[in-house]
Structure 1
Amino acid sequence: MSLPRIIVLGAGLGGTIAAYEIREATKGRAEVMVVSDTDDYWFVPSNPWVAVRWREPDAIRVHLPPVMKKRGIGFINVGCTRVHPTENRLDLGDGSMMMYDYLVIATGPELAFDEVKGLGPDGHTVSVCRTDHASHAADDFDAFCANPCPIVVGAAQGASCFGPAYEFALILDTELRKRKIRDQVPMTFVTSEPYIGHLGLDGVGDTKGLLESEMRNRHIKWVTNARITGVDDGMMHVEEVAEDGTVKKAHDLPFGYSMILPAFRGVKAVFGIEGLTNPRGFILADKHQRNPNFKNIYSLGVCVAIPPIGPTPVPVGVPKTGFMIESMVTAVAHNLASELDGKDPCEIPSWNAVCLADFGDGGVAFVAQPQIPPRNVNWASQGKWVHLAKVGFEKYFIHKVRSGTSEPLYEKLALQVLGINKLKQTTKGAA
């Protein structure tokens, strides 16, 4: 009799560690396989460093097939073109298909650059969303530094991942000062957030005050409630929206270099599947990370549908931070183990947030427990220690992926680096 097959769809931050934890939790009672469109894992949080050549891409890359083989996990690198949840089937990129008993969707998002004319690597702005994007951004930055002029950094309407935009703006400031050309580069931060430090979370602790102070100290101007209407070569067109939704002011911002984070949407393999996704293509999930309509499908990471914190003049999404994703992974692994034992799932991810925003010579850290307010812990701090902590954590996490360990490193970060006494990954709940 063959073992039940669990397929993890995606091999990014969430999918890779999910495969490790599921393999450990099921202890040989299931066949665990990963379906990915690439052989390599990239530590995406380091992409802003890649874009200024503080890291080379190979330093944050892990070649997955040998690691997966060592852990007894199947690995297929042709990607999935379509999920058929009513048939428990995947269509693969090479024209073949694969059946599953349980599916864990961890695809991450599709980057919706096309929703703003001229945005993205195929337009007039660079990106740090993928490591290959960041590598091209580094080439463009080198060329820019030979002829310094204004920079625009930020996040477009509908974006949900704001931390890398703040990081990159302040890392650019640090690098430009190192190159002694900061005085030749006016900088503007453009964001759909209603205020600096909102982060899609309505702020955490005093992120508003801390980040506004950093921006002022570094002579970075900003436009909030910003809707980018288009990007031309060297010019960004932005509408500043008032609380009532009307256009308060129009801005034409010249630039010689610009990085704007796009909105996300679900990947094509799942987009538009009734009962599986919301209209934006994100996977519907209950409190156990299980789809309410297809009970053998779980999801985790950026692909999960989470409603916004509340209404804002310009659409703002909710980020899925590393610790939050790790808590989803742990819950999914334990719930699949319960299902293999004939029990109902009972683990509920904590959705706590721990974030280190590095500025090159300092940074801001925050902890939100849980991520969605109201919170039991609502804390933020800043200092040079944040940069050092992120460097250390990069090494921790890449080692975790290379070694195939299921150790919860975000929790280790919270306990050891931030000095928090207890930050649980999951909780037991009624099935």
Structure 2
Amino acid sequence: MARIVVIGAGLGGLPTTYELRRLLPKEHQITLISNTPKFTFIPSLPWVGLNLKSLKNIQLDVEKLLANRGVKWILGGVSQIQPELQQIVVEDTVIPYDYAVIATGAELALDALPGLEETAGYVQSVCNPPHALKAAEAWRKFLANPGHLVVGAVPRASCFGPAYEFVLLADWVLRRHGLRNQVPITFVTPEPYVGHLGIGGMANSAELVKKLLRQREITVIENAAITRIAPETIFLADDRTLPFQYSMLLPPFRGPCFLREAPYLTDQNGCLPVLATYQHPQFSSIYGVGVITQLKPPEQTPIPIGVPKTGQMTEAMAIAVAHNIAVQLGVISAPLVTPTLEAICLADFGDTGIAFLADQVLPNPRTGERRRAVAKEGRWVSWSKTAFEWFFLTKMRWGVAFPWFEEWGLKAMGLSLVQPINDFEFSHTPQIKKLV
């Protein structure tokens, strides 16, 4: 019998748990640990932050989801992981494991610059449920007393999609309320240009994003470093200041404290280095899934930024990790696999949206190109994101990570979540190496 522990019940952890339970015989014990009782569909949090959707409509009760599925559920925060001993500490309980899957999502580095910290209360974010609820309450007050609106990200941020969604949705909401002429809007980003998205070279994405921002009369400040935040004022490195009545800024991500404190486990930001199998290079009993994994930027930018890990990338990591653990245990006879890191992203802007397809997210390091990079605008994108939210939540209710019809749909578009390691181009990224 093997003991597999999954830490985190989000977009990475819950699908990994379902896929492990599907692949492994009942004698193998699967435990899911999370510090929150709810699964949240994180991509919908910009809607919550602008009071366009209720948080409860994008959350599911994890304990109910796992009932009668042969998975042990532990609600609690991990205080320590001991890779040498293969133990996890949750409060006062020590949990041994044969394999551990780290799928915690990221901790927000709110101490990255003065005034960003939550206790200051100057700016909002929509990166987790509590923050989205606070943003929604602040947005209600802002509509009653409108003024300058500033949206964007700080240096070392890595997921820019929510910022673009928030600023363009905010414009749409303000127009619906007849308030747009009272609200000057500024978008500020550390990206070298808008539409870079942390990966660069995404077909016509920059042109589409610039066009929309220009049409909506949103002032753009790109390649900008926010250095500190004061009440109603944001300070930039070039000595410019931005006044605001409401601001939503995306912070940098890092690994949670229990990972950062474990010797030799993570990089300086608390992210897990991984092999092609998504195992840790030094501790083969540990796997990583989602935002917590280390991906190096494909290029140096004037202001440091990170690489996004989208929902589809996270789903691919989950499927690969579950498959590889089953192979390691001898349950299935098949090649080890690696996630393809292809991504389809749907950004809703209210009355329109942009669909991004990056195949693959990280360009080939030799050519600097992707197999495909597509960006398409249209109202259909908004409808598609709503439909996908329903689909993903339905999958989680069913207890299925990757149904056959989703696989067929991706194949019809020439995409896949995973592929055999022997066929993988190992030079794709410097930190991913063949497991020997």
> TM-score interval w.r.t. the shorter chain?
over 0.9
Amino acid across the alignment from 2:406: K
Structure 1 runs (4+) greater than 6 angstroms displaced: 342-345
Amino acid across the alignment from 2:283: F
Q: Is the 1:34–1:75 Cα contact (8 Å) retained in structure 2?
A: yes
Return the offset for 1:282: 0.2
- The corresponding residue for 1:5 is 3
Amino acid across the alignment from 2:80: R
Say if 1:270 and 1:154 are closer, same or farther in 2 by CA, change over 3 A. same
- The corresponding residue for 1:96 is 93
Question: Aligned runs of 1:31-46 on 2, under 5 Å?
Answer: 31-46=29-44
1:378-418 alpha-carbon deviations (Å, 9 max, x no partner):
11101000000001011111111122112259x839937xx
d(CA) in 1 for partners of 2:156, 2:214: 25
- The corresponding residue for 1:421 is 413
Return the offset for 1:421: 2.5
Query: Partner of 1:54: helix, strand, or coil?
Result: coil
Pairing partner for 2:312 from 285, 298, 323: 323
Question: Aligned runs of 1:251-290 on 2, under 5 Å?
Answer: 251-290=240-279
d(CA) in 1 for partners of 2:328, 2:113: 43
Say if 1:414 and 1:134 are closer, same or farther in 2 by CA, change over 3 A. farther
Pairing partner for 1:173 from 171, 174, 183: 171
Return the offset for 1:227: 1.1
1:332-362 alpha-carbon deviations (Å, 9 max, x no partner):
0110100110879611111101100110111
Q: Is the 2:407–2:416 Cα contact (8 Å) retained in structure 1?
A: no
Amino acid across the alignment from 1:192: P
Q: Is the 2:276–2:421 Cα contact (8 Å) retained in structure 1?
A: no
- The corresponding residue for 1:380 is 375
Indicate the percent of aligned positions where both proteins have the same amino acid. 39
- More displaced, 62-71 or 185-194? 62-71
- The corresponding residue for 1:14 is 12
Return the offset for 1:49: 0.6
d(CA) in 2 for partners of 1:223, 1:14: 33
- The corresponding residue for 2:106 is 109
2:399 maps to 1:404:
yes
1:127-173 alpha-carbon deviations (Å, 9 max, x no partner):
10112211111111111111111000001100001000000000100
1:283-306 alpha-carbon deviations (Å, 9 max, x no partner):
110011011100111111000011
Pairing partner for 2:303 from 314, 328, 336: 314
d(CA) in 2 for partners of 1:222, 1:420: 38
Q: Is the 2:26–2:70 Cα contact (8 Å) retained in structure 1?
A: no
**Structure 2 unaligned regions, length at least 5:** 364-368, 423-434
- The corresponding residue for 2:352 is 362
- The corresponding residue for 2:213 is 215
**Number of aligned positions between the proteins:** 416
d(CA) in 1 for partners of 2:203, 2:69: 40
Amino acid across the alignment from 2:14: T
Q: Is the 1:414–1:423 Cα contact (8 Å) retained in structure 2?
A: no
- The corresponding residue for 1:244 is none
Query: Partner of 2:346: helix, strand, or coil?
Result: strand
Amino acid across the alignment from 2:224: A
- The corresponding residue for 2:284 is 295
Q: RMSD in angstroms over aligned alpha carbons?
A: 1.7
**Structure 1 unaligned regions, length at least 5:** 240-248
- The corresponding residue for 1:352 is 342
Say if 1:413 and 1:333 are closer, same or farther in 2 by CA, change over 3 A. closer
Return the offset for 1:203: 3.8
Return the offset for 1:204: 1.6
Amino acid across the alignment from 2:317: M
Taking structure 2 as the reference length, the TM-score comes to: 0.92
1:192-218 alpha-carbon deviations (Å, 9 max, x no partner):
100000000114221100000010000
1:163-194 alpha-carbon deviations (Å, 9 max, x no partner):
00000000100100010000110011111100
